[in-house]
Amino acid sequence: MKLRRLYAHWAHVDLKEPGDHEIRVELSANDHSPLAVDGVKLDATAVVTIPGAADSSVSAASTAIEVEVSGGKPVGGVQRHRIDAGDDITIIVNGDTADELHIHGYDLVVGFSPGQPGSITFEADIPGVFEVETHDRGDLVMEFQVG
């Protein structure tokens, strides 16, 4: 199943269902014809395995954090949060300009624009303190500690 055409440097594929998922990337020219070198198409395939739940009686907690950005800066100041390791974090961002939040350490990015909030969910599986900044302006918006 084709998900999308990509005109950027990265893409997030949200795989949640347990099992094997085949990811295929094909490079295409501006007219959408396949790019090739010496008749060999430029493409790659990888299989990503999402394990099933080991014990359905144990579930991770979930933390939702809402952030509002105005002029590239966090409304109300820089937020600080403590997250338990293994919890799911959902960050929802609203802003008055188009930008992205960069979640350092996890190397995740979520875009947002006026009237189009951004949202990203991920597992807090790396211990430490992590900064979340606006990508274009580089302003600190939030820090969270996983431990």
List, for residues 14-42, the tens digit of each pLDDT value: 677 787 777 888 888 888 888 888 888 88
- In this structure, the answer to whether residues 11 and 69 fall within a common structural domain is no
Task: State whether residue 72 is helix, strand or coil.
Answer: coil
Whether 6 shows a pLDDT value over 90: the answer reads no
Q: What is the pLDDT of residue 60?
A: 60
- Phi, psi for residue 134 in degrees, rounded to 5: -70, 140
Whether 132 shows a pLDDT value over 50: the answer reads yes
CB atoms within 10 A of CB 75: 14
Confidence of residue 54 (pLDDT cuts 50, 70, 90): very low
The whole-number average pLDDT for the span 102-128 is: 93
- In this structure, the answer to whether residues 92 and 141 fall within a common structural domain is yes
* Total domains present in the chain: 2
Q: For residue 103, give its domain range.
A: 62-146
- In this structure, the answer to whether residues 68 and 135 fall within a common structural domain is yes
Residue showing tokens 């009237």 = 115
Q: Are strands 62-70 and 88-95 parallel, antiparallel or unpaired?
A: parallel
pTM of the complete model: 0.59
**Cα gap 82→16, rounded to integer Å:** 24
